[in-house]
Amino acid sequence: MLIGQPDIEFYFVTDPAKAYSAASELRPTVILQDLVMPGSDGFDVIRQYRADASLRAVPIIVLSAKEDPKMKAHGFAVGANDYLVKLPDPVELLARIRYHSAAYISRLERDEAFRFLRESQQKLADANLELQKLAALDSLTGIGNRRAFDDTLQNEWQRGQRTKTPLSMLLCDVDHFKLYNDEYGHQAGDLCLKKVAAVLTEQLKRPADLVARYGGEEFAVVLPETGLSGALKLADACREKLAALAIEHSGANIGVVTMSVGVASLVPAPEFSAEDLINRADKALYAAKAAGRNCVQQG
């Protein structure tokens, strides 16, 4: 009935012991399986197919000499998709084979399309995540930019309100940076800012802490769950570390690049806002500059 059909590649085995290995090798789109075979139980062979991930979804049409409802039910229970009584009408047999084969191929194509879609979605999600990371980085120094600072400060302010823990902030300004640029050029100025960013980053020990470029030669450091004393200690360590690099600056008070730091700390509460913390740090920074620069002041 099947040999000679131009749209059907037909393979068969007469030894039931070879059925599973043949199916594994050929990867058919339909399996036509007799239930009664010499020395073997057709149900057991079906179970073998269904235990193999590569054959689990392949449609199985079982053939039986009996129109037995119980045998039909058992066949479907172990994994058959269709049931025909021998010998079937050739037209019906071909129609069922073509139907099941087309449905299986459509399923494979659908699964492949879904797999491709999932991969594309994952690639898009990864790309978006990378873009978000890049959008939050300062292109010159590689640390957080103003957007990253604003987002982090708001998030930590809200978290501090829930946990009733202090939130501290440092505002750092490179002393006489305009004079440095005028004297040594913008390339040297860019390198100087990169070194300042590296100094600040090096002093941070916790993943939640953030250093960001606030604007121009100003940098901001956000310190969740950190009180004023801890923030002052960190600020002085950053200031000392930068001075110790001894980056030549003829226009500075001590002949090397230094920075002034303003420190503020608040326990976030409804009567305050994140802007209050920024304003306090900004006033402290202004006080540090007024005090002669290269120092730390608290607000």
CATH 3.30.70.270 domain position(s) in the chain: 146-298
Whether the pLDDT of residue 6 is over 70: the answer is yes
The residue that leads in pLDDT, 129 or 134, is 129
Cα separations in angstroms, 25 against 19, 28, 54, 80, 143: 10, 9, 10, 20, 56
Poorest-confidence range of 133-137, 156-160, 212-216? Answer: 133-137
Average pLDDT over residues 211-223: 95
- Output the pLDDT for position 145: 93
Is 197:219 a contact under the CB 8 Å cutoff?
A: yes
- Output the pLDDT for position 133: 66
Which residue in 9, 119, 183, 217 is the catalytic one?
A: 217
Whether the pLDDT of residue 134 is over 70: the answer is no
- Output the pLDDT for position 36: 78
Contacts 24+ apart (CB under 8 A), 191-194: 192/247, 192/257, 193/140, 193/141, 193/217, 194/140, 194/141, 194/142
Whether the pLDDT of residue 109 is over 70: the answer is yes
The residue that leads in pLDDT, 285 or 73, is 285
Q: 225 φ, ψ to 5°?
A: 55, 40
Tokens of residue 114, six digits: 């879904």
CATH 3.40.50.2300 domain position(s) in the chain: 16-113
Tokens of residue 49, six digits: 């197919």
Among this protein's residues, is 119 annotated catalytic? no
- Output the pLDDT for position 222: 97
Whether the pLDDT of residue 135 is over 80: the answer is no
Tens of pLDDT, residues 57-106: 899 999 888 888 888 888 888 888 998 888 888 899 999 999 999 999 99
Class assignment of domain 146-298?
Answer: alpha beta
Confidence class of residue 289 from pLDDT cuts 50, 70 and 90? very high
Is 94:6 a contact under the CB 8 Å cutoff?
A: no
Q: Which fold has domain 16-113?
A: Rossmann fold (3.40.50)
Confidence class of residue 136 from pLDDT cuts 50, 70 and 90? confident
Dist CA 86 CA 65 (whole Å): 5
Whether the pLDDT of residue 130 is over 80: the answer is no
Whether the pLDDT of residue 25 is over 70: the answer is yes
Mean pLDDT of the chain: 91
Report helix, strand and coil shares of the chain as percent, to nearest 5: 50, 20, 30
- Segment holding 99, helix H or strand E: helix 90-135
Contacts 24+ apart (CB under 8 A), 186-190: 190/140
- Output the pLDDT for position 226: 96
Residue (of 292, 208, 290) closest to 252 by Cα position: 292
- CB within 8 A of 260, min separation 6: which ones? 172, 173, 175, 239, 285, 288, 289, 293, 294, 295, 296, 297
Whether the pLDDT of residue 17 is over 90: the answer is no
For the full predicted model, state whether its pTM sits above 0.85: no
- Output the pLDDT for position 108: 86
